Chain A
Amino acid sequence: MAVAGDSPAVAAAAVPLVRLTGVSCGYERHIVLTDVSLQVARRHVLALVGPNGAGKTTLLRTLLGLLPARAGRIEHGEGQPPRIGYVPQTDVSEVLFPVTAIEVALMGLTPRLGLIRRAGAAEKGAAQRALERFGVGDLAGRQFRALSGGQRQRVLLARGLVGDPELLVLDEPVRGLDVASSTALVALMVGLARSHGIAIVVATHSLDLVANHADDVALVHRGAVRAGPAAEVMTGAVLSQFHGLPVHVHEVDGQRVVLAGKAP
């Protein structure tokens, strides 16, 4: 994964699934981000980081094709749009619906089923396996609305992966998860990216997650995006400038820990 203008060696090594060049993201009468240039490649994890309201979700929606680019160019490196898996924030779903966990997971296969065909044994088996992969296989028959926030998140992750995506987009995937769960989840996602050749784009506030697992980082702030390899972006100097307060990045037992100091 690489970003335009940064690390040409890395850019050459990876085949981009999606490339944004000089893109403006936003809505009809409100442009949120301008001149965004980045690309998403297989086996890479791209993290979008920024304060609330900075435009992370707008950028995600543009990547997903839910919002048209207001300016610039979006290209698909393999000639056609990639198969997408999407894991929204849990509160996006209409949880009043009396759907079970496996019915939610099966939704991820809806595009594959075509207009009329219903999910058969094969699809249900795939959905069950996806749930088991995230440790919620035993909850398949439970009402989605009766699950805890963390369990719902795992079910939505299963739905995101059940369709065998090439590009997996996650919006705050570890929000509401405890430390053990979020660590296991992140390890699983990164493992999938590496082993299955999936490109992952994740919007998150967890700087520790980004510092330890992302290949590339896009800092979204004040209408602009600064992107680059994680090693270059996730430094105390860059993050201090970005957040406007002292930020330190330490290494403890091979893990990077991001600590914010007091505001000046």
Chain B
Amino acid sequence: MSPADLLSGTPLASIPDATVAALIAGTLLPMLGVWVVYQRIVFLGVTLAQVAAAGVALGLLLDLPPLPMGFLLCAIMVAVVARGFRGGIGSGGDSALGAAFCVASALALLFISRSPAEVDEIEHVLHGNLIFALPQDVLRVSIALVAGLAVIGLFFKQILFSAFDGETAAALGLRPRLWLLVLFAVLAVVLTLSMTTTGSLLTSALLILPPLAALQFRRGMKATFALTALLGFLGTLAGLLLAVTADLHLESSIVVTTFLLLPLVACWRLSPFLALAAVAALAWLAPHLAPAAGPAPAEQQAAARDTTSDLPPDIAALLAEGDATAATAAAAQPRAPGSPAPPVTPSASPGASGAAAAPAHHAELLELSLFAQPAAEPATVEVSWTLDLKRGTPPVALPRTLWLVTSGCGVTDERAIVRDTAQLPPGDQLLTGSIMLKGTTSVGPIAGQLWTGPRRDERSVPVPGAIVHPSTAPAAHGHP
């Protein structure tokens, strides 16, 4: 049963993979955070996330695998920290972590500024984007968290003793630095892998806030772990519901609701009825936070999905089985070249905040054709694109950037194909290029859509009126 089936009929049905990824991270990451909070190494967790980002950026700069580079830098960081660790990060350790945090942040920016990779690729790897989580993201986060917790569970007594009282542990023959190194290494790996899906803000929040809330119950270790997981799950679920109900940013909503766990638990300890009343009040308040007009993101996505009914059966099937978000590729509907641009339907419009990013009407003709074929590189499909831009009279301003979102062969990709339309020469243009979809061996149908910016940017919208000819099948499809 897929996440979409599981959540069918619920408010979260429009973001199934994001929901599953968030709930898994929201339940398991806080259990790891118990160690971070109780050992007072919160800043280490935050710094590790930033060091991982710098490593990923370095990998992109040097055209090396980004995640292993993130691991490598984290490993170096962990080795240095573990060497100086004596049962707690003292003031000196905090200062060193602060310095590492600043340098890692600066290096990440410097590496990015010189990176040949596409901006959207960098952004995706560095900061993640929960709402566009794919099934493989869910799988990666789940495996990382379960494996990390399993390692810590296996060596629980050694890590606990080392964290609680490293000096006595060493006196009794244990190697506390080794066991703390294991803990830090697990943290580094899990944070690096989670960050690319849940983003650094949400990762840090889930690591810290639910354990802090659970701490107030003053229970034993096992009960604390169970309470932390439960509170993390509830806080994340509440955040998801808040986001879809009130049309709010997903990660930020979860951060806010997990933070609210702190006062709610304090209320619970005074009186469970008081806490339940507070929850009821917040639940009543949530829908009132929604903007007065314009559909919520979830509604947009659901509406956009509905447009797949207009698609040819093969593309509709492809979109149905692929990335749910890419299903917004209503523009995949083939049209005869030169046919009039379709009007922007209210259901596909982005809402009040996003509408300002693109003109409501378009005099230009933007016609994009896609063609997929196997690339020379293994497990890679090359998608060639041709953008036919015909100016209207009088010309109407184009969006500043044009982003191509493709989905097919189990891979979704998005990147800027025209950085600055103002730099284009006047008159009609025929632009071409190609992108490589990695991680797939078969060449299948590729659907596409033109956007005004990266999809995670709330101001971005599908370019109104753009026509996209998908690559349906390589054998039957000639290069445009």
Using a CB–CB cutoff of 8 Å, the interface residues on chain A facing chain B are 61, 64-66, 84-86, 88, 92-94, 96-100, 103-104, 106-108, 110-111, 113, 115-116, 118-119, 141, 143, 146, 159, 163, 169
Contacts and interface: CB of A to CB of B under 8 A. Distances in A.
A66 to B, nearest CB: 5
Given A92-B167, A96-B215, 17 more contacts: A65-B171, A66-B170, A66-B171, A84-B173, A92-B168, A94-B40, A94-B164, A94-B165, A97-B160, A97-B221, A98-B38, A99-B220, A106-B157, A107-B168, A111-B172, A115-B155, A116-B154
B231 to A, nearest CB: 14
B172 A93 contact: no
Closest CB pairs A-B (n = 5) = A86-B171, A64-B171, A98-B224, A107-B161, A93-B165
Interface of B: 38-40, 87-88, 154-158, 160-161, 163-165, 167-174, 215, 218-221, 223-224
A100 B170 contact: no
Given A108-B172, A163-B172, A169-B171, A98 B220 contact: yes
B392 to A, nearest CB: 66
B168 A143 contact: no
16 contacts: A61-B167, A64-B171, A66-B171, A85-B172, A94-B164, A94-B165, A96-B38, A97-B221, A100-B221, A107-B168, A110-B161, A110-B169, A111-B173, A118-B156, A143-B218, A169-B171
Contacts of B157: 106-107, 110, 113, 118-119
Contacts of A159: 168
B215 A98 contact: yes
Given A86-B172, A110-B172, A113-B157, A100 B220 contact: yes
B165 A88 contact: yes
Contacts of A94: 38-40, 87-88, 163-165
Given A103-B220, A103-B221, A143-B220, A97 B164 contact: yes
B230 to A, nearest CB: 15
Contacts of B156: 118
* Most chain A CB within a 10 A radius of its CB, from B38, B161, B219: B161
A196 B174 CA distance: 25
A85 B169 CA distance: 10
A143 B169 CA distance: 20
A118 B153 CA distance: 11
B215 A99 contact: no
* Most chain B CB within a 10 A radius of its CB, from A65, A94, A146, A169: A94
A61 B170 CA distance: 10
Contacts of A66: 167, 170-171
Contacts of A107: 157, 160-161, 164-165, 168-169
Contacts of A111: 172-174
Contacts of A103: 160, 220-221
A100 B218 CA distance: 10
A218 B174 CA distance: 28
A69 to B, nearest CB: 16
B221 A98 contact: yes
A119 B171 CA distance: 20
Contacts of A141: 220
B335 to A, nearest CB: 63
A190 B156 CA distance: 34
B168 A86 contact: yes
A107 B88 CA distance: 18
B244 to A, nearest CB: 34
Given A92-B165, A107-B161, A146 B218 contact: yes
A18 B277 CA distance: 65
B174 A110 contact: yes
Contacts of A86: 167-168, 171-172
* Most chain B CB within a 10 A radius of its CB, from A85, A97, A98: A98
A99 B221 contact: yes
Contacts of A108: 172
Nearest to B218: A143
Nearest to A108: B172
B448 to A, nearest CB: 52
Contacts of A104: 164
Nearest to A165: B172
B40 A88 contact: no
Given A97-B163, A97-B164, A110-B158, A84 B218 contact: no
Contacts of A169: 171
Nearest to A65: B171
B76 to A, nearest CB: 23
A16 to B, nearest CB: 19
* Most chain A CB within a 10 A radius of its CB, from B157, B168, B215, B221: B168
